[in-house]
Amino acid sequence: MSTLDAGLIDRFIEVVGTKNALTVEDDRTRYTEENRFIFKGVTPLVLKPGNTEEVAAIVRLANETGTAIVPQGGNTGHAAGAQPDESGDQIVVSLERMNAIREIDPQANTMVVEAGVILETLQQTADGQDRLFPLSLSSQGSCQIGGNISTNAGGVAVLSYGNTRNLVLGLEVVTAAGDIWNGLRKLKKDNTGYDLRDLFIGAEGTIGIITAATVKLFPKPKGRVAAFAGLASVSDCLALLQQAQALAGKSLTGFEFMPSIGMESVTHAFETVRNPLAGKHDWYVLMEISSTRSEQDAMEMSESLLHDAQEARIISDAVVAQNESQRQAFWEIRELMPASQKMLGGSIKHDISVPVHLVPEFLERAEPLVHSVDPGARIFAFGHMGDGNIHYNVSQPEDAGDDWYLTKRELINDPVHQLVVAMGGSISAEHGIGKLKRDLLAETKSPVELEMMRSIKRALDPNNIMNPGKVV
């Protein structure tokens, strides 16, 4: 299938050695399949370089021969950004073997990690030094930090600690020319020219390959208290958020909202999971308050907040986790939302954001748009309320067939995304663009912005070898 010359393939294999190159079809599936199974990629070759010099040698060869390469981390993305296309001419470069933790410096609160380090390993290593690496998302057991950085991953700790972008101090990058840029800085302040770091973060491997990073560590909170609340409306969720931020400021480290359909699905699908509250509610909020002072301090803040919110009739009911296993049980409910939604059949997803205070308005305006397409469609909206980031997913009606997803997808996507744009929102809050939303990006961005992105792409990757067909 591939039109790549066998001699050329051999030259690429030579860089990493035969045992670090996959050429047999079966071996390569996990590098070509993507999360949503919408696109089917094909590749003649998966390369697994063991160090930065090998990555640079691969890119130089690709540049010299005009061969397209696709950098890949844990391949857990939701936007089809890390798979080859269908041509069979794109070579996958997996960073998985570059998984060393080069340095951990608890005094500087930094760690230098290679791109292939699994996020969970990074978290655990920091924890072992009594430090926190706050990035936290459901695929953390298999996603890699290089992919997290290349997609500027979000997750459940953004509210207090920011996106991945905010957790990175420096980068090591192999440029599209095959040069190595050592930008592994540990500085809080550095105003020396253009911000290349932030340009590579979130660029999804289209202008270079991130091979290592200096990441920030944080003091581990001394206390962390989770609370679970039932509420009557999204407006009440917003009111609770504002009250929590006013009281706890940056100590509010998590604020997730979930719909009643989510609670029903998750308790139905997973026998061990139960609703922490006695009654049913239209909305649920999982919120977490952390204290740098003490467990008691976090508990006092949480209780004082819930007391005030109950007085103000913002929440109907609430419960505070009394120990670590209860805290984890609360989070499990949130983390199982996507899996439980899968049980409801086909799902049309939107990873969108709006200004935080407009979340209720967005949900109110989006609902009739969805139901005018299909009155039986089940809206399953949840996510990172504190960031204005809604996973605005729509499950098929109970009686719908397997083709529902395909026939309704565009009909529902289009008005939802138009509403997002009209409300000043983002059509990809945390999952990125990849191949999935490349056309949507072109439709929703201004020509001025698109042209600047394309100019940068042309300037930094003139031969268009870096993950072509993605983002821009």
Considering only residues 370 through 389, tell me which ones interact with its own copies, judged by CB under 8 A. 384, 386-389
How buried is 218 (Cβ within 10 angstroms: 0-12 exposed, 13-18 middle, 19+ buried)? middle
Nearer to its own copies, 236 or 374 (CB): 236
Q: Minimum Å distance from CB 470 to its own copies?
A: 10
- Beta-strand (E) ranges in 243-373? 252-259, 283-291, 317-320, 347-348, 351-353
Q: Is 205 left (phi over 0), alpha (psi -120 to 50) or beta?
A: left
**Quick check: 180 binds its own copies (CB under 8 A)?**
yes
Q: Give, for 326, the enclosing helix (H) or strand (E).
A: helix 324-335
Segment lying near its own copies (by CB under 8 A), choices 83-91, 269-277, 338-346, 425-433: 425-433
CB 119 within 8 A of CB 143: yes
What φ, ψ does residue 96 adopt, rounded to 5°?
-60, -30
Cα distance between residue 21 and residue 333, in whole Å: 40
Cα distance between residue 355 and residue 246, in whole Å: 18
Count helices and strands in the chain by DSSP H and E runs: 16, 19
Which residues ranging from 44 to 83 are in contact with its own copies (CB under 8 A)? none
**Quick check: 163 binds its own copies (CB under 8 A)?**
yes
Nearer to its own copies, 27 or 198 (CB): 198
Which residues ranging from 301 to 360 are in contact with its own copies (CB under 8 A)? 301, 353-358
CB 88 within 8 A of CB 43: yes
CB 211 within 8 A of CB 173: yes
Binding mask 118-157 for its own copies (x = CB under 8 A): ---------------------------------xx-x---
**Quick check: 422 binds its own copies (CB under 8 A)?**
no
End-to-end CA distance of the chain: 26
Quote helix, strand, coil % in the chain, to nearest 5. 40, 20, 40
**Quick check: 210 binds its own copies (CB under 8 A)?**
no
Q: Minimum Å distance from CB 373 to its own copies?
A: 24
Nearer to its own copies, 99 or 389 (CB): 389
**Quick check: 448 binds its own copies (CB under 8 A)?**
yes
Task: Choose which of 80, 158, 314, 419 interacts with its own copies (CB under 8 A).
Answer: 158
Strands 46-47 and 90-94: parallel
Which residues ranging from 242 to 261 are in contact with its own copies (CB under 8 A)? 242, 245-251
Nearer to its own copies, 97 or 445 (CB): 445
**Quick check: 432 binds its own copies (CB under 8 A)?**
yes
Cα distance between residue 376 and residue 23, in whole Å: 47
Chain centroid offset of residue 308 CA: 33
Nearer to its own copies, 38 or 452 (CB): 452
Nearer to its own copies, 393 or 396 (CB): 393
The footprint of its own copies on this chain (CB under 8 A) covers a number of residues equal to 86
Task: Choose which of 117, 359, 427, 436 interacts with its own copies (CB under 8 A).
Answer: 427
Task: Choose which of 11, 102, 185, 365 interacts with its own copies (CB under 8 A).
Answer: 185
**Quick check: 468 binds its own copies (CB under 8 A)?**
no
Which residues ranging from 100 to 119 are in contact with its own copies (CB under 8 A)? 105, 107-108, 110
**Quick check: 439 binds its own copies (CB under 8 A)?**
no
